[in-house]
Structure 1
Amino acid sequence: MSGSLGSPKTPGWLDWYENPSEPTFRLPPGTVDTHCHVFGPQAEFSFAPERKYTPCDGGKEDLFALRDHLGVARNVIVQATCHGADNSAMADAVRSAGGRARGIATVRPDIAESELLALDAAGVRGVRFNFVRRLVDTSPADDLLTIAKKVAPLGWHVVLYFESVDLPELEGFFGSLPVPLVVDHMGRPDVTRPVDGPQFTRFLRFVEDNDVWVKVSCPERLTVTGPPALHGDLHGERHDELHGDLHGERHAYTDVVPFARRVVAEFPDRVLWGTDWPHPNLTGHMPDDGLLVDHIPHVAVTAEQRHKLLVANPMGLYWPGEDF
């Protein structure tokens, strides 16, 4: 997983977990992981010169191995910021999946129609707009609106990555986009605030008032209490000390659960789930992807909610008209 064949990894980079545990929760047939990435491998797909970080390798073979280990049927592969607007690694992974993957690209406003059509043929179904300041220098609204207008005729959508504190200044622009919207990681709420407080309620009303889907994903990015917990009593212990030794009910990221449950309860037909593998830019801990699967029944508490979250909703968005 090193970057020895190219640029060295960012100091302190946390590599993805090579031996994830076996989930105790069995994913329903047809489950879609709607948020994952590929990093290179760097020897084949170079990273963008303007990138903010240099990750370890995490290529398509590693992603597909995780897919099969967890019992996932299909993936939606989101362009990683370390690759900039060169979508080669993502598109190659989508094409290599044999119809079991879709892609989300990063493009520039001057992209030619022919390039968009080529990406569409490869399986790309959307573009990502990143508003997280530590990951991108700027997100100019005029350029992004130009991109949205170019992809609208293809039936694509826009994936939005932002932090909850920035929603008030962004929601007017978001509402002007002429395409459906998909929000990453529940808009990154501050989970130390009340779930029924004004900040998260504003996000939910934004979802209600617009054509928005929400990814109930990345509890490991949002948590303050941290992983893992067994029967609610193991907060603060190291993941690698407990990996493979958790029996019975596995429950982590408990402070994120009320937020995810509220989204699933209010918008059962517009929620999606994803692993975020290979988990870029984490500094506190690297999650066990098996434990992330076991987080699902804590936030989608009925079989009907879980089927919509994991199968029906993503299939309708990314493979409309196809059987589960």
Structure 2
Amino acid sequence: MSDTFPASIIGIDGHAHVFSRELDLTSARRYSPDYDATLAMYRHNLQVHGLSHGVLVQPSFLGTDNSYLLDALKQAPTQLRGVVVVERDISRAELEAMDRLGVVGVRLNLMGKALPDFSEPAWKVLFGHIAELDWHVELHRHVADIPTLVRGLMPFGIKVVIDHFGRPDARLGLDQSGFQKMLELGLSGRLWMKVSGIYRLDGNEQENLEFAQAALPLLEQSFGAQRMVWGSDWPHTQHEGRVCYASVVEQLRALGCSAQAMRSLLIEAPQVLFDFAPVEA
């Protein structure tokens, strides 16, 4: 498929993955896909659901080999942006090469891992590069640890993006400590939230949706609508048997956003965060 799509931005999917089952998987993986999630399949989903642009995030099971993601960016450079996973000692030259291809951030998927010490010299060097490139750091971790991680990143002056509502446990409600502390930190004006992965909130389908519906206005009050973006999380790894692109679009509608809030989630906020060209007049 060539790099053709609507000239103006009509909707940005801020979080998706592409991969092939034939790729070499990292030995440290928690999950192994038995199917393909190709760029062509992803772009078809965008088209079917009235979206024009997307952000590809490196899946954890591919480790730091971002070659498949980078190849996708080369095929659709105007339509796509990328978020990579890298070694701490990656060179500035390698990061700059990724920047030229449309990479805008680095993901720290810390699910099931020991919490890092961001005061270590290697982290300081990496975050210095990220700040100078004007990239963001994306955090994926359960909400109890999000405040500690955010506080560790704040001294570096970089944009911090939190995955999937911060991964709270919907069964514990809005008063759970980590979620409340995250809301307090959101008032700093330096954090972004991905409104995505509702099905990853640890409750049943109804509990997860009700939590997301109740959490959204609190997040908007704390983070600001201009720092909240939506993502499909396609192809919904580990949940692909019961979740599809159409169902996450339906969940988005079920959040009950106003027309302006929806425009902010799908166009205005992600356009800024992911450095997409302005909408044509």
Normalising by the smaller structure, the TM-score range is 0.7 to 0.9
Q: Is the 8 A contact 1:224 1:255 kept in 2?
A: no
Residues 64-96 of structure 1 show CA distances to partners (whole Å, capped at 9, x for unaligned) of 121112111101100111111111011111221
Distance, in Å, in 1 between the alignment partners of 2:74 and 2:30 is: 27
Amino acid at match of 1:184: D
Ranges in structure 2 where 5+ consecutive residues have no aligned partner: 1-7
| SS at structure 1 position matched to 2:171 | coil
Corresponding position of 1:34: 14
Ranges in structure 1 where 5+ consecutive residues have no aligned partner: 1-27, 228-234, 236-251
Q: Is the 8 A contact 1:108 1:147 kept in 2?
A: no
Corresponding position of 1:51: 29
| TM-score, normalization by structure 1 | 0.76
Amino acid at match of 1:100: Q
Distance, in Å, in 2 between the alignment partners of 1:108 and 1:221 is: 27
State how many pairs are aligned: 269
Q: Is the 8 A contact 1:129 1:144 kept in 2?
A: no
| SS at structure 1 position matched to 2:13 | strand
Corresponding position of 1:195: 174
Task: Tell me which of 275, 280, 285 is aligned to 2:232.
Answer: 275
| Percent identity for Structure 1 against Structure 2 | 27
Residues 194-250 of structure 1 show CA distances to partners (whole Å, capped at 9, x for unaligned) of 3255442211111112511100111111151316xxxxxxx9xxxxxxxxxxxxxxx
Q: Is the 8 A contact 1:191 1:259 kept in 2?
A: no
Distance, in Å, in 1 between the alignment partners of 2:40 and 2:253 is: 28
Shift in CA distance, 168/180, structure 1 to aligned 2, threshold 3 Å: closer
Point out the structure with max Rg over C-alpha.
Answer: 1
Shift in CA distance, 42/137, structure 1 to aligned 2, threshold 3 Å: farther
Q: CA RMSD in A?
A: 2.4
Q: Does 2:152 correspond to 1:173?
A: yes
Q: Does 2:50 correspond to 1:71?
A: yes
Residues 154-206 of structure 1 show CA distances to partners (whole Å, capped at 9, x for unaligned) of 11111111111223433321322331111101111122223255442211111
Residues 107-129 of structure 1 show CA distances to partners (whole Å, capped at 9, x for unaligned) of 11221122111101111011011
5 Å matches for 1:26-175?
Answer: 30-39=10-19, 41-43=20-22, 45-55=23-33, 56-133=35-112, 136=113, 139-141=116-118, 142=120, 143-175=122-154
Distance, in Å, in 2 between the alignment partners of 1:207 and 1:214 is: 9
Amino acid at match of 2:245: D
Shift in CA distance, 60/296, structure 1 to aligned 2, threshold 3 Å: same
5 Å matches for 1:247-266?
Answer: 253-266=209-222
Distance, in Å, in 2 between the alignment partners of 1:116 and 1:168 is: 27
| SS at structure 2 position matched to 1:195 | coil
| SS at structure 2 position matched to 1:286 | coil
Amino acid at match of 1:280: T
| TM-score, normalization by structure 2 | 0.87
